[in-house]
Amino acid sequence: MKAKETVSEFFELHGQAHSGELFTVNRLEEFGCSDTNLPSGRRDFYKISLIIQGGGTLSYADKSLHMTGPALSFMNPMIPYSWEPDVAHQTGYFCLFPETFIDQHLKNGGLAQSPLFKVGGNHVFFPDAEKTAFLQNIFESMVRETSTSYAHKHDLLRSYVQILMHEALKMEAPDTYYQAGNSAQRISDLFQNLLEKQFPANPPHQVIRFKNANEFAAQLSVHTNSLNRALKETTGKTTSEWIADKISQEAKALLLHSHYDIAEIGYCLGFEHASNFNIFFKKQTGQTPNQFRKATVSIS
Report the C-alpha dihedral over residues 238, 244, 247, 249, rounded to 10 degrees: -90
What is each CA distance from 195 to 93, 145, 252, 278, in whole angstroms?
33, 38, 17, 22
pLDDT surpassing 50 at residue 228: yes
Residue 180, pLDDT score: 47
2-24 tens-digit pLDDT: 568 899 999 998 888 888 899 99
Q: Which of 187, 186, 178, 183 is nearest to 124 (CA)?
A: 178
Q: Which helix (H) or strand (E) holds 92?
A: strand 91-97
Most distant CA pair in the chain: distance in Å? Answer: 72
Between residues 288 and 220, the one the model is more confident about: 288
Residue 2, pLDDT score: 57
128-144 tens-digit pLDDT: 999 999 999 999 999 99
28-61 tens-digit pLDDT: 988 877 777 888 777 889 999 999 998 888 887 6
147-171 tens-digit pLDDT: 999 999 999 999 999 999 989 988 8
Cα-flanking dihedrals φ and ψ of residue 188, to 5°? Answer: -60, -45
pLDDT surpassing 60 at residue 300: no
CATH of domain 183-299: 1.10.10.60
Show me where the domains of the chain are located: 7-179, 183-299
- CA 120 distance to own-chain centroid: 9
Residue 113, pLDDT score: 58
pLDDT surpassing 80 at residue 181: no
Residue 187, pLDDT score: 85
Find the range with the poorest average confidence among 53-57, 237-241, 278-282, 294-298.
294-298
> Can you name the CATH fold of 7-179?
Jelly Rolls (2.60.120)
Q: Looking at residues 82-107, what average pLDDT do you find?
A: 82
Q: Residue 300 half-sphere exposure, CB side, CA atoms within 13 Å?
A: 8
Residue 178, pLDDT score: 44
Stated pTM of the model: 0.60
